[in-house]
């Protein structure tokens, strides 16, 4: 079980989880290299809502999804609002948000589907991408775990929704936690720390470090892992990339390290047609 970052097309780097069977689904976590966007969005910005030229984003999306073997024209993406709404999407939703932010799935922070050839795409720059794959019931999902989504347990709620919608069993679901801001760089204030203490009692040592007195750092990787285990996902099915986007902001977008105005990476997953 490991996370690997490799060049999948000319200049384009993408991360993947070795635990996700490639005959069932295609997936990837993009980096920032190999696209056409200008600074401060340089260069593989995959988000339409951050002020970049839409034409550049559409070229980037086409480049990245083609490199993954997917059709960018069919991708489905939501308007992410740091909430906890989860949408099940079907073939009827194909292309929503692909060319315009206006028809993206409204106010939603996780997508799930059992539809084949329907790429799900969510955008990130420090927030935690959480990918789901049930190879038995053949279903996939992606959740957006910023601190708000994480403390509201969006990852655990996505698992529950896959159980309800697809009959997924927790012992079958594979989970990948992608590159995002690490405990090395994620300093939080007292109010945020307090919410995590209340939401995850007894996990102080996994959640928090104090590199300097008075400076509390939070691990979103730990908070997501804890809630997934509590939801019943076996520990050995949770693959955490443990790659910090702020430490590595030359190859990833980092909202914090780039000073707020920057592009977005994408997490993408699509079920393959059964052969």
Rounded least distance, CB 259 to Zn ion, Å: 16
For Zn ion, the closer of residues 163 and 209 by Cβ is 209
Smallest distance, Zn ion to C-beta of residue 89, A: 33
Q: Please state the closest distance from residue 244 (CB atom) to Zn ion, in A.
A: 3
Q: Give the 3-state secondary structure of residue 93.
A: helix
Stretch that binds Zn ion, among 48-56, 175-183, 207-215, 251-259 (CB under 5 A): 175-183
Per rule CB under 5 A, is residue 185 in the interface with Zn ion?
yes
Which is closer to Zn ion, CB of 162 or CB of 244? 244
Helix (H, G, I), strand (E, B) or coil at 110: strand
Residue 48 CA to residue 50 CA, distance in Å, equals 6
CB-CB neighbours of 6 under 10 Å: 9
When binding is defined by CB under 5 A, the residue of 91, 107, 184, 250 that contacts Zn ion is 184
Contacts of 22 (CB under 8 A, 6+ apart): none
> Which residue in 178, 182, 226, 258 binds Zn ion (CB under 5 A)?
182
Residues 249, 258: Cα–Cα separation, whole Å: 7
- From 177, 244, 257, 271, residue interacting with Zn ion (rule: CB under 5 A): 244
Nearer to Zn ion, 118 or 125 (CB): 125
Phi and psi of 175, rounded to 5°? -130, 140
- At residue 80, the 3 state secondary structure works out as coil
Distance between CA atoms of residues 17 and 130, nearest Å: 11
Tell me the window of 24-32, 133-141, 195-203, 247-255 that interacts with Zn ion (CB under 5 A).
247-255
Find the shortest distance in angstroms from Cβ 183 to Zn ion: 8
Q: How many residues does the chain have?
A: 275
Q: Give CA–CA dist 200/206, Å, rounded.
A: 10
> Binding Zn ion by CB under 5 A: which of 246, 268, 269, 270?
246
The span of 23-31, 181-189, 222-230, 251-259 binding Zn ion (CB under 5 A) equals 181-189
Q: Segment near Zn ion (CB under 5 A), from 12-20, 74-82, 171-179, 242-250?
A: 242-250
**Alpha carbons 154 and 243: distance in angstroms, whole number:** 21
Question: Is the peptide bond between 43 and the residue preceding it cis, with omega within 30 degrees of 0?
Answer: yes
Tokens of 34: 């190999």
* Residues paired with residue 133 on neighbouring β-strands, in sequence order: 140, 174
Least distance to Zn ion, CB of residue 228, Å? 22
Q: Site for Zn ion (CB under 5 A): how many residues?
A: 6
Question: Tokens representing 45?
Answer: 């910005």
End-to-end CA distance of the chain: 25
Least Å distance between CB 37 and Zn ion?
A: 24
Q: Which stretch binds Zn ion (CB under 5 A): 107-115, 143-151, 237-245, 256-264?
A: 237-245
Binding site for Zn ion (CB under 5 A): 182, 184-185, 244, 246-247
């Amino acid at each position: 079980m490991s996370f690997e970052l490799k060049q999948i097309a000319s200049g384009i780097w993408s991360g993947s989880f070795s635990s996700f069977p490639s005959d069932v689904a295609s997936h990837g976590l993009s980096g920032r290299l190999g696209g056409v966007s200008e600074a401060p969005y340089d260069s593989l910005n995959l988000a339409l809502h951050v002020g970049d030229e839409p034409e550049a984003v559409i070229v980037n999306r086409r480049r990245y999804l083609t490199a993954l073997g997917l059709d960018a024209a069919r991708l489905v993406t939501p308007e992410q609002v740091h909430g906890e709404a989860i949408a099940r999407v079907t073939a009827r939703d194909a292309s929503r948000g692909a060319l315009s932010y206006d028809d993206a799935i409204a106010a939603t922070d996780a997508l799930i589907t059992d539809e084949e050839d329907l790429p799900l795409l969510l955008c990130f720059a420090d927030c935690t991408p959480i990918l789901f794959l049930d190879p038995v019931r053949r279903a996939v999902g992606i959740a957006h775990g910023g601190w708000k989504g994480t403390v509201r347990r969006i990852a655990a709620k996505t698992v529950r929704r896959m159980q309800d919608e697809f009959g997924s069993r927790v012992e079958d679901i594979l989970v990948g936690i992608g590159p995002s801001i690490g405990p090395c760089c994620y300093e939080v204030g007292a109010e945020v720390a307090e919410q995590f203490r209340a939401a995850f009692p007894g996990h102080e040592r996994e959640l928090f470090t104090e590199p300097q007195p008075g400076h509390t750092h939070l691990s979103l990787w730990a908070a997501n892992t804890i809630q997934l285990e509590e939801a019943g996902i076996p520990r050995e099915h949770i693959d955490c990339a443990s790659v910090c986007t702020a430490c590595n902001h030359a190859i990833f977008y980092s909202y914090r390290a780039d000073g707020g105005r920057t592009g977005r990476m994408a997490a993408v997953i699509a079920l393959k047609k059964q052969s």
